[in-house]
């Protein structure tokens, strides 16, 4: 079952487990107490998306662009 979705639903309906598992069954993530292929796919997609968010995005600058940025930083941090 998609653990991320189960946790989210448990927070929303803390005293009603029927609402949690009923919702998971209704959207097709579970069938009874078994996880469906759709539920596995939802969890896999969630894991991929979370891994992508954690990666820092690297930006490569040309030497000319780096020089322009450094000049602006120097101007802004210069003591007056």
- Please write down the HEC assignment for all residues of the chain: CCHHHHHHHHHHCCCCHHHHHHHHHHCCCEECCEECHHHHHHHHHHHHHHHHHHCCCCCCCCHHHHHHHHHHHHHHHCCC
- 5/15 Cα distance (integer angstroms): 16
What global pTM score does this model have? 0.61
Per-residue pLDDT of the chain (80 residues; tens, 9 = 90+): 789 999 999 999 999 989 999 999 999 999 998 999 999 999 999 999 888 777 777 778 888 988 999 899 888 888 76
Where do the structural domains in the chain lie, given as residue ranges?
3-77
Q: What is the pLDDT of residue 77?
A: 87
């Amino acid at each position: 079952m998609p653990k991320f979705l189960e946790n989210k639903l448990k927070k929303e309906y803390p005293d009603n487990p029927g609402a949690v598992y009923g919702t998971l069954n209704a959207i097709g993530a579970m069938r009874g107490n078994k996880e469906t292929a759709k539920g596995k796919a939802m969890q896999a997609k969630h894991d991929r998306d979370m891994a992508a968010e954690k990666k820092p995005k690297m930006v490569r600058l040309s030497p000319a662009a780096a020089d322009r940025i450094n000049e602006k930083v120097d101007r802004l941090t210069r003591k007056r």
